[in-house]
Chain A
Amino acid sequence: MAEVEETLKRIQSHKGVIGTMVVNAEGIPIRTTLDNSTTVQYAGLLHQLTMKARSTVRDIDPQNDLTFLRIRSKKHEIMVAPDKEYLLIVIQNPCE
């Protein structure tokens, strides 16, 4: 149990990482390092996007599954790792 906490701490303290959050299957954030409004916004939008992406991948081949989703924008990169029940979202600025 502590391992996961440590991992999340490490990720948060990694170079360029702006924020991390854990979202459950219904799109409700469980853990976050950002402020509430931003978190809720990210959680809602990314949850839908991840569901859509996963549905797409699996529709093409049901034996396949989505491993992670990366959205690189001008300002930063949003990385989403879906799990069976949870969603881990990390926002990083890679070029710092």
Chain B
Amino acid sequence: MPPKQPPRRQSINAGRGTRKRDEDSGTEVGEGADEWAQSKATVRPPDQLELTDAELKEEFTRILTANNPHAPQNIVRYSFKEGTYKLIGFVDQLAVHFSQVGNLIPKDSDEGRRQHYRDKLVAGSQESAKVVLSEAEILEEEEESKEAEAEAGSQTDVPAAEAAEKVTQEELMTPKQPKERKLTNQFNFSERASQTFNNPLRDRECQMEPPPRTNFSATANQWEIYDAYVEELEKQEKTKEKEKTKTPVAKKMGKMAMRKMTSMESQSDDITKVTQAAKIVERMVNQNTYDDIAQDFKYYEDAADEYRDQEGTLLPLWKFQNDKAKRLAVTALCWNPKYNDLFAVGHGSYDFMKQSRGMLLLYSMKNPSFPEYIFSSESGIMCLDMHVDHPYLVVVGHYDGNVAIYNLKKPHSQPSFRSSAKSGKHTDPVWQVKWQKDDMDNNLNFFSVSSDGRIVSWTLVKSELVHTDVIKLKVEGSTMEGVEGLQLHTVGCGTAFDFHKEIDYMFLVGTEEGKIYKCSKSYSSQFLDTYDAHNMAVDAVSWNPYHTKVFMSCSSDWTVKIWDHTIKTPMFIYDLNSGVGDVAWAPYSSTVFAAVTTNGKAHVFDLSINKYEAICNQPVVAKKKNKITHVQFNPIYPIIIVGDNRGHVTCLKLSPNLRKMPKEKKGQEVQKGPAVEIAKLDKLLNLVREVKTKI
């Protein structure tokens, strides 16, 4: 405490009885010091504390301890053992006032030893350096003496050599120097700077037009990923196909086609791509307009039928007509076997005097205002048929005797194949055509019957129609002796035919004379059987879809007759008070059929309910002069289409009574199926037969 004591002594000297508690130290001055300083005069400072004598005499004890006054006195530490804060008894009292790191190293430590060793080395090298220096000096002296002797020419070399030696000496010296002085530069470093002219800088820039930019954004949905995969698959398949059909010619053709395609696409208006959507929208619009009819078609069941006691009605639904076919009569109707809402209508004229063009229209029930397909021909169409396996092929027979096949898949309105005078067309109107099963070479073939008395089988061989006469209808017993002894046969005029559903080769032909011939495809000259059916031309013949023996015929002589082909006389005869245009069996029952007459009425019969009368007898067309020409049942839905000679086609729904199934007896399951139908009809026939045999 030497630096502090003198000022303290001074203060004590300055005033008697003054005690200032020095907060910094705990040391005290004993009372002896007071006595010692009493001899001097005291000067009172003005701000001295005023104390009484008693207070002045008060003794204050001061204790000299070794405690650090700055050390904390009550440190507590958390004891994990006991879980509480505990007072630490002993606190470190050491106070450090000053500290300095010294540079004395003990001799025996690592660093000390290292330094000692280094010192040794330095001493050694210094000695050797001294030796070298002395040697160098000797050398220099020698060289200098040599100089004096050498010629002037070599003088320059020597100083260079000297300089080199000096350099080497210096170099020798310098590696030792770092041992003594660590901080010196290791290289003989001399800085030499020079500045060249700075080339003037010039900016040269070039700017192009920025590339066009577009924003691209897309979402990666599950279906987008799916689409991408599907596209990939298609591409792969296409490449596979291309590989299979590789020929250089084909490639060229392919390229040409591609070029044409692309040019066409770029030329054509964008509008064409909306075709599909436009079709759908048209149907939607029609559905809205004819909404009630569509609902009726689907859901309406005439409740009044319950009260009508077995009679039924026909509910008119849509009416199909087209301006272009306005004056043409409906000459043929056919439902498409694949698409249940599509049907074909053939237009032509039955009038011998007024023959004009013909039309083939295909309507869908989903769009009653406009046909799906339109084909026109020069001659009236008299009959048509759709192929079962290829529902896009439609064969038509014309008034001029030609037959033609239309392919619905192809967009042009001309028939794909056509017969001509050379290829054996008929000489009279073709009254009926029917597709047959593909022959053994998988060629399409069909039959046609005409008033010229020929039944011809046409085969489509390599896109040409080849004909073969199957049979010639001869009127029996009418061979006459003509001029020069020729035997003239009067040819019968076929007006209708139908093929048996199961027995392939057997078919029926109806003629203008009113006879029905049962023929076989294999016998070309003889008929299997003849039926004297009607007094006037037979308009239609039709086999029963279920019963293999039963067929039906109708004629302009006002009658409809039902036959068993084994029996020469008809089973049932119905007189309808007007020429019957067409008859058709119902596809859902063996006992139901419909007939249409020229007085505009439609008759529906159900033999299982009423054998003698129609269960529905309803005028279908508006004006009385309108003759109904054809009728067809829809294979799936309970509707029929009826065509008249004004060119209109009306669609009618059959009421429930007309579609009656036999009542199920309690406890028994209702049996459905062809067998049941056959049995039903059989029962009826047996009854009739019994009656006949009895008679």
- Residue B139 interfacial (CB < 8 Å): no
Interface size on B, residues (CB 8 A): 29
CB distance from A58 to the nearest CB of B (A): 3
Q: Given A14-B286, A14-B289, are A86 and B273 also a contact pair (CB < 8 Å)?
A: yes
Residues of A within 8 A of B207 (CB): none
The smallest beta-carbon distance between B177 and chain A, in angstroms, is: 85
From 200 to 240 in chain B, residues with beta carbon under 8 angstroms from any chain A beta carbon are 221-223, 225-227
Whether B273 lies near A84 (C-beta < 8 A) is yes
Most buried by A among B222, B271, B285: B285
Contact A88 B274 (CB under 8 A): yes
Which residue in B276, B285, B370 is a CB contact (below 8 Å) of A79? B285
Residue A35 CB within 8 A of the other chain: no
Q: How large is the interface on A (under 10, 10 to 19, 20 to 34, 35 or more residues)?
A: 35 or more
Q: Are A94 and B288 in contact (CB-based, < 8 A)? A: yes
> Which one of B272, B277, B281, B369 lies within 8 Å of A1 (CB-CB)?
B272
Chain B residues with CB below 8 A from A58, complex form? 221-223, 226
**Partner among A10, A31, A77, A82 whose Cβ is within 8 Å of the Cβ of B369:** A10
Provide the residues of chain A in CB contact with B370, threshold 8 Å: 7, 10
The answer to the question of A67 belonging to the interface, with a C-beta cut-off of 8 Å to chain B, is: yes
Query: Are B277 and A88 in contact, with the CB atoms below 8 A?
Result: yes
A40 within 8 Å of B (CB atoms): no
**Contact A3:B223 (CB < 8 A) given known A11-B282, A14-B286, A86-B270:** no
Any A CB within 8 A of the CB of B138? no
Map CB proximity to A onto B228-256 as digits: 1 under 8 Å, 0 otherwise. 00000000000000000000000000000
Q: Which of chain A's residues 44-74 have a Cβ closer than 8 Å to chain B?
A: 55, 58-59, 62-63, 67-68, 70
Chain A neighbourhood of B227, CB < 8 A: 62
Binary per-residue interface labels of chain B (137-159) against chain A in the complex, 1 for a CB within 8 Å, 0 otherwise:
00000000000000000000000
Whether A22 sits at the interface, judged by CB under 8 Å, is: yes
CB distance B273 to A83 under 8 Å?
Answer: yes
Chain A residues, Cβ within 8 Å of B223: 55, 58-59, 62
Please indicate the chain A residues that have their CB under 8 angstroms from the CB of B221 in the complex. 55, 58-59
- B277, A31: Cβ atoms closer than 8 Å: no
- B91 interfacial by beta-carbon distance below 8 Å: no
Q: What residues of chain B lie closer than 8 Å to A4, measured between beta carbons?
A: 271-272, 274-275, 278
Contact A11 B281 (CB under 8 A): yes
B282 pairs with A1, CB closer than 8 A: no
B441 interface residue (CB < 8 Å to A):
no
Residue of B nearest to A16 (CB): B289
Q: A1-41: which residues lie under 8 A (CB-CB) from chain B?
A: 1, 3-5, 7-8, 10-11, 14-17, 20, 22, 24, 30-31
B284 touches A3 (CB 8 A): no
Neighbouring A residues of B271 by C-beta, 8 Å:
1, 4-5, 8, 22, 30-31
| B226 contact set on A, CB distance < 8 A | 58, 62-63
Whether B268 sits at the interface, judged by CB under 8 Å, is: yes
- What B residues does A87 contact at CB under 8 A? 277
Cβ of A90 within 8 Å of any chain B Cβ, yes or no, is: yes
* With contact pairs A58-B223, A84-B273 given, residues A68 and B268 touching in the complex (Cβ less than 8 Å): no
Q: Which 5 A-B pairs rank lowest in CB-CB distance, beginning with the nearest?
A: A58-B223, A62-B226, A81-B277, A62-B223, A94-B288
- Other than the known A1-B271, A68-B280, A94-B289, what 16 A-B pairs have Cβ atoms closer than 8 Å? A1-B268, A1-B269, A4-B272, A4-B274, A4-B275, A7-B275, A14-B286, A30-B271, A55-B221, A58-B221, A62-B222, A67-B280, A85-B270, A86-B273, A88-B274, A90-B285
Residue positions of A touching B, CB distance < 8 A: 1, 3-5, 7-8, 10-11, 14-17, 20, 22, 24, 30-31, 55, 58-59, 62-63, 67-68, 70, 77, 79, 81-88, 90, 92, 94
